[in-house]
Amino acid sequence: MNQFTLINELTHQIANSMNLQKASPEEKENICRKYFYAGIAFLPWVWIVNIIWFRTEAFKIGHNPAIRKYVLFSCIGTAFYMAIFTTWVVIYQTRRGDWGELGDRISLHLPLGRP
């Protein structure tokens, strides 16, 4: 078996295991719950993935109420995190120069010119 055949086989195995249409309702709920709790650990991108993957499952007729709950809470958590992050970026960008040495110490890149 050559290298390309092995890579192709692994790619198909991964793609088949990630197919949510083949998963049972219990497996879908389990995956959705795990992604929601991973997002609580300050990983909002996992919430975004959760929203994208399960949005149709959460809002279709005959939906699983647990999946809908996790998707809605993922939406709320993402909005809350983005509001906090945007607030921090605005405050940091407008006030960094006023913070003196602290503003410089928490910077990865010190811009030249006016603080």
Residue 9, token pair as written in the block: 């086989």
pLDDT at 42 over 80: no
Mean pLDDT of 68-82: 94
Per-residue model confidence (pLDDT) at position 115: 55
Helix (H, G, I), strand (E, B), or coil: what is residue 64?
coil
CA–chain centroid gap for 6, Å, is 30
